Amino acid sequence: MSKTLQREIASLASSLVRLPSRNPPGEEARITQFVANWLLKADLNPTFVPLSPNRSSVVCRLPGRKSGSIVLCGHLDTVDTDPSTWRVPPFDGRVENGRLWGLGAADMKGAVAVLLQLVSDLHREALMPVHDVVLALTVDEEVSYRGAATVVESGLIDDAKLLLIAEPTAGHLYTGQKGELWIEVTFLGREAHGSTPALGTNTILPAARFCTRLQEEMSLLPEIPDLGRTTLNIGRFRGGRQVNIVPDRSSVHLDIRTVCPEDRDAAIDRIDRLAEEEARASTARFERRILGDHPPIVGAAEEPYARNLAQALIDTTGTSPPIGISPFSTDAVSIVPQLDLPVLLYGPGDIAQAHQPNEWVDLQALATAYEVLRRFLDCHHPLSC
């Protein structure tokens, strides 16, 4: 790759980082318009796919030689953050020491820049890949994957043969992803004056005991070969409204990443049992609400597209990539079940950098991802043709 092309990708990624697109609250309008204008300047024809007022995904298609399409997918939104916790301002898009720093640099504006540059270059060089290449850049991935759902509903990717999502995979090739189960457990008691706690039912205590017991029990679920282990994150704990009032309501939000349907059912069983035991012991009661429930998506490393992408990685890097399933969830949950197609996850950066202050992506990782995906799509690549 030329130094000029590397600088163009880095500059584009930096421009994307400088456009806040936090979700919540769902402020993707500026970045969506920027992407659409960029594609228009590249003589491409973007289509807006509305989700709600001022929130739209962007889809663009390049023609290929055969029927069907390869969908290159990325998301435009990021999580929210507290700028005071950052060493570098999160929206500066600063390039320093071979890295691009900023909110979304790894997850996943660096990858979006790679995909934009790749599609633009294929069009500019008049290269016709084997199948149509569809670029789908979505909104609302960080909350509920609704942008991807509206892309499916639009019919623009009905002919998809493969979904390739460029999330940060740290050099790994993923042929699927863990399931995502989000649950809210609420303990309900009785308020009283803080000076007379015996007259009330304090819900923080059973909620806290529930959390520690659930963490212990979930850690005992066995690891499954080639899939990994189901994990639990206790992501939010809310209890009480004033220090001198006995809290009558405490809620816990759970993020469970499942490797199989059996673990999903086992997790719900444990939640119900432990919550019931702790509520009863405290003369409280509990309610459980499922906020999101997406089953695992598991593909095969022997699938032809997976072999092709693995070979492109070998040809580019000289090493064979680790292959497995992703520990995190993606827009695939809104696309794969509806269209019944395989999914591959490969992109620049590392998920370990995501959702925390001082996020960064290595510029060389952007260049490598471009080369790998270019080889994969290149009509002259022996495995792709």
Question: Do 268 and 205 fall into the same domain?
Answer: yes
Residue pLDDT, tens place only, 298-331: 999 899 999 999 999 999 999 999 999 999 999 9
Residue pLDDT, tens place only, 69-116: 999 999 999 999 999 999 999 999 999 999 999 999 999 999 999 999
Question: Do 350 and 317 fall into the same domain?
Answer: yes
Question: Do 84 and 111 fall into the same domain?
Answer: yes
Could you list the residue range(s) of the whole structural domain that residue 286 is in? 182-294
Question: Do 288 and 339 fall into the same domain?
Answer: no
User: Of 272, 294, 316, which marks where a domain is finished?
Assistant: 294
Question: Do 94 and 189 fall into the same domain?
Answer: no
Residue 383 resides in a domain: no
Question: Do 38 and 172 fall into the same domain?
Answer: yes
* Closest alpha carbon to 355 in 28, 85, 99, 115: 85
CATH number at residue 216: 3.30.70.360
Question: Do 284 and 369 fall into the same domain?
Answer: no
Question: Do 25 and 146 fall into the same domain?
Answer: yes
Cβ atoms 49, 139 nearer than 8 A: no
Question: Do 165 and 188 fall into the same domain?
Answer: no
Question: Do 348 and 278 fall into the same domain?
Answer: no
Question: Do 233 and 151 fall into the same domain?
Answer: no
- Is residue 218 reached through a cis peptide bond, with omega within 30 degrees of 0 on the bond before it? no
Residue 382 resides in a domain: no
Residue 383 has pLDDT above 60, yes or no: no
**Residue 243 to residue 314: CA distance in whole angstroms:** 59
CATH number at residue 87: 3.40.630.10
Residue 385 resides in a domain: no
* Closest alpha carbon to 206 in 275, 290, 288, 287: 275
Q: What confidence score (pLDDT) does residue 382 get?
A: 39
pLDDT band at 1 (very low <50, low <70, confident <90, very high): confident
User: Of 247, 266, 294, which marks where a domain is finished?
Assistant: 294
**Residue 137 to residue 74: CA distance in whole angstroms:** 5
Residue 55 resides in a domain: yes
Angle at 329 between CA 81 and CA 207, to 5 degrees: 70
Q: Number of structural domains, the chain?
A: 2
Question: Do 324 and 280 fall into the same domain?
Answer: no
